[in-house]
Structure 1
């Protein structure tokens, strides 16, 4: 999946977040993964959703971002067709770009932050992601990620255009605190901003606050 993505940890709150956009449909279904108190992962180019599942399991066992990435790729014969970015619970990051990913392809890391993209117009997209994320520290964490993606899109984004986008945030629940996506749109980042505003509105926020956060202690599968 030709995509650009961002994964981050908010050191102020301990939240993890991931945001992604692409020219194809339903990018949020496969690319971004995470869990509270654990980390966040984006798998793209020739996407491998199992990287998300297996990677989170490794992070929960105490492997750091680099160790997790290395273990995921060690047994993957298709690793040279994939991109992977990870941030762990300590804010450590790891990234890789397979040599068979479509140009322009690359990744960057910063404090508590990793970004990656393929099929881009050039490196300006990733540079803008990081610059915007650093600049907008005063914004709430979800809006900060969205602002970064919007800046990246203005600097080229996916060179085929954008048709889907997704944003997820994990805080203190066994599921995402924010999980919003636009699966097919001519302006997916603008539509994503509208959806984010709705789920952060008082009515939905009050409803969401009443939901159970974790499994009951005596629950068994």
Structure 2
């Protein structure tokens, strides 16, 4: 019931994650990240503990693949889970359990991974990958949003999309971009509108002046 992407910008070192689903408040449980550590999306029959536990493993220097295998080994319900991870170096890993619902799958490319379940069909994830790759000259947040929009145009969640979220981490100990639309008839349009406001000078100048102790 969800489509998600995690990614790294090779030039800036930013890490990001974005997600959309037919249910409410997808940003509360699905996407997780930490500056200089990694990004995670946990979905299908979501295990929210994969977020903090996975980030702990990544912070210890484990690869995305090693963390994924460790998380799954400890979870007796792993066949109902879907999980994508990205480490600070851009290494990715993905898992789709055999009991995830409807059309489901996961893919990874250089510096990113995508996943979806209860999708309209097998064109959704390739469309997300293509959109993310083609937007290579844009900031990471805009690329993540473009991927979600492309997934929606390709059919997206077969039940429709009612909530969406996008986060980007760079040097600060909190997210550089942290956007959520928790319930809407058109959450991706609203997410786009919020991103425009976040980029506007008034907010951007305010944010730049906030204490921003670098992540350790």
Q: Same fold (TM over 0.5)?
A: yes
Asked if 1:24 is matched to 2:20, the reply is no
Structure 1, residues 15-61: CA drift from partner, whole Å, max 9, x if none? 00100000000000100000111110000001111100000011000
Return the TM-score normalized by structure 2.
Answer: 0.97
Instruction: Mark the runs of 5 or more structure 2 residues left unpaired by the alignment.
Output: none
> Are the counterparts in 1 of residues 5 and 113 from structure 2 also a CA contact under 8 Å?
yes
Instruction: Mark the runs of 5 or more structure 1 residues left unpaired by the alignment.
Output: none
Partner in structure 2 of residue 99 of structure 1: 98
Partner in structure 1 of residue 186 of structure 2: 187
Partner in structure 2 of residue 173 of structure 1: 172
- Report the aligned-residue RMSD: 1.3
For residues 153 and 39 of structure 1, the distance between their equivalents in structure 2, rounded to whole angstroms, comes to 25
Aligned residues: 216
Partner in structure 1 of residue 39 of structure 2: 40
Moved over 6 A (4+): none
Partner in structure 2 of residue 154 of structure 1: 153
Partner in structure 2 of residue 72 of structure 1: 71
C-alpha change, 1:144 and 1:216, in structure 2 (3 Å) is closer
Partner in structure 1 of residue 85 of structure 2: 86
Return the TM-score normalized by structure 1.
Answer: 0.95
Q: Kindly state the Cα deviation for residue 141 of structure 1 after the two structures are TM-superposed.
A: 1.4
